[in-house]
Structure 1
Amino acid sequence: MTKTLSLYNQNFTLHPSGAMFWEEEDLLVISDVHLGKVSHFRKFGSAVPQNAIVGNFQKMNEVIAFFEPSKIAFLGDLFHSSLNKEWLLFEHWLENISAEVILVEGNHDIISPLKYEALGVFVTPEIVLKNFLFTHHPEERHGFFNFSGHIHPGVKIRGRGRQQLKLSCFFKSKDQLILPAFGEFTGKHILIPQGDDEVYVVTKEEVICLND
């Protein structure tokens, strides 16, 4: 189950995968996939399952099939490290994507933009459309609502008997929405809502507004 927000008379649908869809622009927004991270960890001896490598690609395929966007924007950290064998999987994945693909550069995007551009991916430091600013790092800019990633936002939910869950979330403040990390094995940075902040936690099947 998704959740739709209305901002400046535009509709943005939050998906349980952590992706967001801008209806009027037919734009799918994904942040912090960190492709290559699993291979990077395995190279240095971490016991990460081999089949985890394909998890991010399967997840992207599922959300693309759900929205069928004409454009896809990655808000940084698409690839976690320098080139490794997952780059070949990324090349193959792009061959089956008909949508226009845009990468907003993140701090982990150290692969040359020329490599992306050779695959038809447009690389840019930011996207400005209407009243909206899309960046990797959260940013405040007068007159714009900012969509970003980088933080890997999460919250703690406490229950009875000292039980607690740490869940990824979309974290919304007055002029900003931080998207959760899309990728596997990315971790969470726990945020504490203040004032009018809104928290939309993601589970495998739905987006839940904690403010409700």
Structure 2
Amino acid sequence: MTITSQGEELILDKERALYLPKHQLLAISDLHLGKSAHFRQAGLQVPATIAQTDLQRLSLLIKQYNPRMLLINGDMFHHGLNTDIEEFAEWRKNYEQLDFLLIKGNHDRLSDANYAAMDIDIHEPSFCLGPFCFIHDAPNCTEEELYPISGHIHPGVTIVGKAKQRLKFPCFYFGKDYAVLPAFSLFTGLYNIYPKASERIFAVTPKVVVEV
């Protein structure tokens, strides 16, 4: 779905990604690589294919949009180094010409040397481009003249069907003061959003992004 925000065209992709054509920037949030491996280390039975699936989805997005920059809007890695992150490091080598930008989130705790080894540019607390300021947690944005785009809360929306069935989907949130991206990883919970009349919510269904 294509919308206009702050005078610029934005593409909301059903794979929970945002593309800014003017800047050739592909943005995602809350990738949480390493989360499944971290849980397995703690003895929880979590599938080992979660990180692989998320990286495959990301590969398809890169192929579709051919961006100049890939921006991860916080919580790229869930915890410390583990097998999921080692797998990402190998996957990263397929995209040596693509700039990887990370706005640090509360889960991004690797050392500067670790990020540098994977050719990831760190921005803290934000990265500003055009009329937008990408930051992991919107209330912390100090760039008052820019429109913050954040992540962090894993926004979701509940839709009630004609038969009163209730379906919950990830969503994009665009309010007066800031926007929130859906969590990219499939292995995350959802925080339900209850929009006001002046706010726009775009549900991410399996086949399409739809405004609700």
Where on the TM-score scale, by shorter chain, does this alignment land: which range? over 0.9
Counterpart amino acid of residue 31 in structure 2 = V
Alignment check: 8 A CA contact 2:77 2:107 kept: yes
Residue 8 in structure 1 maps to residue 6 in structure 2: yes
Counterpart amino acid of residue 104 in structure 2 = E
Aligned residue runs from structure 1 range 63-82, under 5 A: 63-82=61-80
Give the aligned partner of residue 188 of structure 1: 190
Aligned residue runs from structure 1 range 16-95, under 5 A: 16-95=14-93
In the aligned structure 2, how far is the partner of 1:48 from the partner of 1:119?
Answer: 25
Alignment check: 8 A CA contact 1:198 1:209 kept: yes
Residue 158 in structure 1 maps to residue 131 in structure 2: no
TM-score (norm 1): 0.93
Give the aligned partner of residue 129 of structure 2: 129
1:6-36 deviation line (CA, Å, top 9, x unaligned): 1233211000011000110000001000000
Alignment check: 8 A CA contact 1:144 1:175 kept: no
In structure 2, the CA distance between the partners of 1:118 and 1:190, relative to structure 1 (3 Å rule), is: same
Unmatched 5+ stretches in structure 2: none
Aligned residue runs from structure 1 range 84-123, under 5 A: 84-97=82-95, 98-123=97-122
CA RMSD of aligned residues (A): 1.3
Q: Secondary structure at the match of 1:175?
A: coil
Alignment check: 8 A CA contact 2:6 2:147 kept: no
1:148-198 deviation line (CA, Å, top 9, x unaligned): 100100011112444101110001101311000000211100010012110
1:21-71 deviation line (CA, Å, top 9, x unaligned): 011000000100000011111222222222223111111111111111011
Q: Secondary structure at the match of 1:50?
A: coil
Moved more, 154-163 or 31-40: 154-163
Q: Secondary structure at the match of 1:80?
A: coil
Counterpart amino acid of residue 51 in structure 1 = T
Q: Secondary structure at the match of 2:102?
A: strand
In the aligned structure 1, how far is the partner of 2:207 from the partner of 2:163?
Answer: 26
Counterpart amino acid of residue 185 in structure 2 = G
Aligned residues: 208
In the aligned structure 1, how far is the partner of 2:79 from the partner of 2:41?
Answer: 12
Unmatched 5+ stretches in structure 1: none
